[in-house]
Amino acid sequence: MKRLLMVLYLLMFVFILASCTGFAEVDDREAIPGEETSTEEPGEKKTIIISMVGDMLFHGTVDSYMKKYGDGYVLEGYGPLMKESDIVLGNLETSISKRGVPMEGKEYTFRGRPDVLKILKDNNFSAVSIANNHVLDFGIDAFLDTLDNLKKYELLYAGGGRNKEEAVKGTIIEKKDIKVGFLAFTKVVPVVEWYAGKNKPGIIGAYKVHEKEFVKTIQEMKKNCDVLVVSVHWGQEGTTTIRDEEKYIAHSMIDAGADIIMGHHTHVVQGIEIYKDKPIFYSLGNFIFTTSRIDINNKTIMANVEVDMEGNISDIHVIPGTIVNGKPTPMEGIERDNFIKYLNGLNVNYVLH
């Protein structure tokens, strides 16, 4: 009997010891302070929100309002919305420098102070396109300053560089384990001297003559990212009509691997097309820009696209706004509803709600 009791005591001791030394279920362990725990449901796909805006300049009257009200003035309206996004992209329609002289014979030339870039950084911008018809307005020195100043304020860029290799390289932004590639091209180039070369700073083109080159660039970038956004400066200024040549290029880019096309340059908002389940925003319009006497030039949109790492689009919506004194402000109520109806009338094959 004593032996039996001894055996029972030993078995109880072993059971208690085992419970205290890690045989309990892993899910029952206490959380370690500061340790990240996953809240994802099994099989749930990660998604991110990519926000895109059009032309931004920090010159002339826009700069005067920023000096008067503070640099943060221009993004008081959209800034809070941008901070809710994972990635924000736009077109930097100006050189950022204190050097250089205006290009001779060019009607409009833009140059901004280096410290204005802090406002983009503070409002969640990830990268900008520099492939456009104004980034070299003040010459090569000012263009190189632009690249240096973007780096200083930790803003990535695409569409231009110190040489052709850098200009076509683009950039990759990673959020929530999703790699987003960003490339930029322009179909508006004032003079051929603006093109980047082997040992020459400049930008890269998107004319039909460049098709083989931009197709190859897109194909190569898509190998290294999950989602690919391609920015294109194109279109006829002042018109909502989408030209066939822009449609052809957009389709060609998506066929090559682009997931989202963000267009700008026309200074007006143009319609949206869905091609092979991929959105094409033909023109996002002006954004931070001089107020125009033509009302339609003062309308803008911020396009938001929700996408997963396979490039599947789960949601598209736009936030329309009005530009007054250089500052874009989101529309509300009836004004917003009326503009969405107007935009749906321009859209190729997509209905916004």
DSSP string over 61-110: HHHHHHHHH-GGGGGTTTHHHHTTSSEEEEEE-SEE-S---PPTT-S---
CB 234 within 8 A of CB 188: yes
CA distance 172 to 332: 34
Predicted local confidence at residue 4, as pLDDT: 40
22 vs 310, higher pLDDT: 310
Does 3 or 204 have the greater pLDDT score? 204
- State how far the Cα of 152 lies from the Cα of 113, in Å rounded to an integer: 13
Distance between CA 352 and CA 174 in Å, rounded? Answer: 28
Q: Please say if the pLDDT value at position 239 is more than 90.
A: yes
Contact at 8 Å (CB) between 300 and 285? yes
- Per the CB < 8 A criterion, the answer to whether 114 and 145 are in contact is yes
User: What integer is the mean pLDDT of 316-329?
Assistant: 97
Q: CA 53, CA 286: separation in Å to the nearest integer? A: 8
Residue 284 to residue 240: CA distance in whole angstroms: 11
CB 313 within 8 A of CB 306: yes
- Confidence at 22, pLDDT banded by 50, 70, 90: very low
Q: 311-317 — which CB contacts under 8 Å span 24+ positions?
A: 311/226, 311/227, 311/228, 311/259, 311/278, 312/45, 312/277, 313/259, 313/277, 313/278, 313/279, 314/47, 316/272, 316/279, 316/350, 316/352, 317/352, 317/353
3-state SS, residue 55: strand
Mean per-residue pLDDT, 125-152? 98
61 CB-side CA count, 13 A: 10
CA dihedral 91, 92, 94, 100 (to 10 degrees): -130
Bridge-partner residues for 279, per DSSP?
A: 274
Is 39 a residue whose pLDDT tops 80? no
Contact present, 215 and 168 (Cβ < 8 Å): no
3.80.10.10, 3.50.50.60, 3.60.21.10, 3.30.9.10: CATH of 47-346: 3.60.21.10
Mean pLDDT (the chain) is 91
292 forms bridges with which residues in the sheet?
none
Do the Cβ atoms of 57 and 267 come closer than 8 Å? no
Q: What is the reported pLDDT for 77?
A: 98
Q: What would the two tokens of residue 149 be?
A: 């100043």
Where does residue 76 rank: exposed (0-12), middle (13-18), buried (19+ CB within 10 A)? Answer: middle
The answer, yes or no, to whether residue 1 has pLDDT greater than 50, is: no
Cα(51)–Cα(72) distance, integer angstroms: 19
Which of 30-44, 55-69, 172-186, 335-349 bottoms out in mean pLDDT, i.e. has the lowest?
Answer: 30-44
**276-297 mean pLDDT:** 97
Confidence of residue 45 (pLDDT cuts 50, 70, 90): confident
Average pLDDT over residues 88-94: 98
Question: What does the alpha-carbon distance between residue 131 and residue 170 come to, in Å, rounded to a whole number?
Answer: 11
> How much is the average pLDDT of 273-278?
98
Indicate whether 279 pLDDT > 70: yes
pLDDT recorded at residue 96: 98
Backbone angles phi, psi at 84, to 5 degrees: -85, -10
- Give the pLDDT band (50/70/90) at residue 43: low
pTM of the predicted protein model:
0.88
pLDDT of 35 strictly over 90:
no
